[in-house]
Amino acid sequence: MIAHLRGTLLAKHPNQAIVEAAGVGYDVTISIETFTHLPAEGSEVKLHIHTHVREDAIALFGFAQKDEKRLFEKLTTVSGIGPKLAITVLSGISSDRLIATIRAQDHATLTKVPGIGKKTAERVVLELKDKLDEFALSSAHVSHVPVGAATEDVLSALTNLGYQKPAAEKAMENALKKEPGIQDDFEQLFRATLAAIR
């Protein structure tokens, strides 16, 4: 099975990368988080790969960071979550935020991800909350943005504009230190975060 892929990045889209290695072009499904880490098309790229084999297809799922791949594999152990939904989850919420959300048993944040209903969110928390100890060190240094009504929407809007999620989170954290009362106001928070990121 393919576990790692290094080659030339022929094309990239928010959910797909095509990597040429030894004359073969591999179609790899990726998350938004991995997409933001990809180099320019034509550059060398390295991806950690999870190979998913079904009776009718072999699918490759690629990750810029090893921890994101490990988290993806944990998600796919949850009943009702296949690899495509796991990628959707990792595209809707950053790895470090997802870990914090599961540990906090925050079902509401999980249900904001397309395809995750209340019961699935409860299963994710129940089945994974005690299985994330190995991620403790990697997420210890991450900025922690308070969860408000507008924070996820602002982060989503900024990543859609092309900003990297870690940079957007750090800018939001700085903006909220100056004006803590704006975390529920999308427009004010968006403008303040955008000003802090530039």
CATH number, residue 91 = 1.10.150.20
DSSP string, 67-91: HHHHHHHHHTTSTT--HHHHHHHHH
Is there a single domain that holds both residue 81 and residue 119?
A: yes
164-174 pLDDT tens trace: 777 888 888 88
Query: What pTM was computed for the model?
Result: 0.68
Q: What is the pLDDT of residue 147?
A: 61
Please check whether residue 170 is in contact with residue 143, taking contact to mean a CB–CB distance below 8 angstroms. Answer: yes
The tokens describing 144, both together, are: 């922690």
Number of domains the chain contains: 3
Is there a single domain that holds both residue 80 and residue 122?
A: yes
| Other CB atoms within 10 A of residue 70 CB | 18
Q: Nearest CA to 120 among 107, 130, 104? A: 107
Q: Which residues constitute the domain of residue 111?
A: 66-139
Domain-located, residue 58: yes
Is there a single domain that holds both residue 78 and residue 133?
A: yes
Length of the chain: 198
CATH number, residue 18 = 2.40.50.140
75-100 pLDDT tens trace: 999 999 999 999 999 988 888 889 88
Q: Nearest CA to 19 among 63, 79, 53, 55? A: 63
| Residue 20, SS3 per DSSP | strand
Is there a single domain that holds both residue 51 and residue 71?
A: no
Is there a single domain that holds both residue 52 and residue 85?
A: no
Distance, CA of 24 to CA of 145 (rounded, Å): 42
The tokens describing 42, both together, are: 């034509």
Domain-located, residue 79: yes
Is there a single domain that holds both residue 130 and residue 89?
A: yes
